[in-house]
Amino acid sequence: MIWILYNLLFPIAFLLMLPKFLSRMARRGGYKKHFEQRLGIYGQGTTSRLDDARRIWIHAVSVGEIQVALRFITAYREKNPDIHFVVSTNTSTAHALGKKEMDPRDVLIYFPVDMPFVMKRAFDAINPLKLILVECEFWPNLIRQGNRRGIPVSLINGRISDSSFRGYMKLRSLIRRLLELIDPICVQGRQDAERTIAMGARPETVKILGTAKYDLPTPAADADAAARDVLRKISVSQCAQILLGGSTWPGEEDVLCEIYKNLKVSHPDLFLVLVPRHAERRDEVAKALEAQQLSFVLRSRMNGGAEKPDVLVVDTTGELMSFYAAADVVFVGKSLCEHGGQNPIEPALFGKAIVVGPNMENFPSVMDDFLSEEALLQVSDFQTLEKTIEKLLSDAAALEQLGAAAQQVVESRRGVIDKMVEAVE
């Protein structure tokens, strides 16, 4: 009965959300391409490739998840070199990353809508050997269709945020039935395990392995070269102190601009780099900078050299890591004016001093790791953020010590991907 109810209500919810999807499609563009794949319809080229070999199907909803999926595929293939994969994702940005980074033997598709007839069509086309979910993608028809066909369903890098846990517990009678069909359930931390079991998972299927986000490639010695080249073109000195706002959300650019203007008086060599989480916000960020009366350059519109502005806005994709490598102090976005937080592990990889706001709910186990090792600084508000950045910029030893502690956290927790491969096998 509960499945019938879900399949009656889901199409209604989907139709109600459709205007939002269409708006995003118009704004970001990439959603239009291959839209038929969301209905389980694949062109002749994709179909013929799917027919070449049975594959492991990995579903990775967005950019963070597809990065985990790509590293998992590499590690799995080291043990099983003849295995092929199909990777599904929901977002155009993740699709673009997958297209750029995936092995040519593998197939990239958009995730089909979770309706019975659509999922049946998708499973008929893909005919997977296994189904692996990255983080927490509990789609009922996806999981049940796999189970009906005798296809093992696994979860890797699972995490349950506060808001997700509240929502899942309201639907526990549904979620419990899905969790019983997944084995193993590999989660990031103790809290994730406790919550998953409270939601109805069988305790013997839940494995605490840590977060795969620590398994980033060791950075090259010249990881900052691309960013340094961009900064040189806009006349930013090699000796300038770089304050970087990484993956910022609305409101956070204004805060960082205020801080920059205040600190520029005592730190004349300070330069601000803003990397908005969504590049299409470039015009919104530009208006905020104009209101702050700061000169700026948009990375996407650079033409050769330019006079030094107050701020560089990196409104392109794929360059954030290089700018992390070039920064002195990094503020990790979606943590001050928004809730959730972005990934602090990426700047830690380069040994950078990291500051975050109070709202890091998306990374509970990671925050436990960093805070227990005093490897980042968490502030409560705008005023504390300014004082913290000022202190770091004024104390080279503290800056270096904090960055070294952050890097050590990452180095000491590598190897999670290999544990996940072993669990899934």
141-160 pLDDT, tens digit each: 999 999 999 999 999 999 99
| Assigned token pair, 167 | 């929502």
- Taking alpha carbons only, the member of 403, 373, 401, 398 closest to residue 388 is 398
Q: What's the confidence (pLDDT) of residue 25?
A: 61
Higher pLDDT, 253 or 35: 253
The answer to whether the pTM exceeds 0.75 is yes
Domain limits of the chain? 25-215+415-424, 225-412
How far is it, in rounded angstroms, from Cα 349 to Cα 331? Answer: 15
Taking residue 217's Cβ as centre, other Cβ atoms within 10 Å add up to 10
Q: DSSP labels for 22-43?
A: HHHHHHHSTTSTTGGGGGT---
Output the CATH code of domain 25-215+415-424.
Answer: 3.40.50.11720
How far is it, in rounded angstroms, from Cα 85 to Cα 275? Answer: 32
The chain-wide mean pLDDT, for the chain, equals 92
Do the first three CATH levels of 25-215+415-424 and 225-412 match, i.e. the same topology?
yes
- Taking alpha carbons only, the member of 292, 252, 296, 300 closest to residue 276 is 252
- Taking alpha carbons only, the member of 154, 149, 157, 84 closest to residue 119 is 149
Return the CATH superfamily for domain 225-412: Glycogen Phosphorylase B; (3.40.50.2000)
Give Dmax over CA atoms of the chain in angstroms.
Answer: 67
**Mean pLDDT value across residues 26-42:** 74
How far is it, in rounded angstroms, from Cα 78 to Cα 81? Answer: 6
**Mean pLDDT value across residues 207-222:** 91
How far is it, in rounded angstroms, from Cα 382 to Cα 121? Answer: 51
User: Is residue 389 within a helix (H) or strand (E), and if so which, with residue range?
Assistant: helix 382-394
* 9 pLDDT more than 80: no
Helical packing angle, 382-394 and 252-264, nearest 10°: 40
- Taking alpha carbons only, the member of 253, 389, 274, 390 closest to residue 323 is 274
C-beta of residue 328 within 8 angstroms of C-beta of residue 228: no
| Assigned token pair, 11 | 């199409």
Taking residue 115's Cβ as centre, other Cβ atoms within 10 Å add up to 16
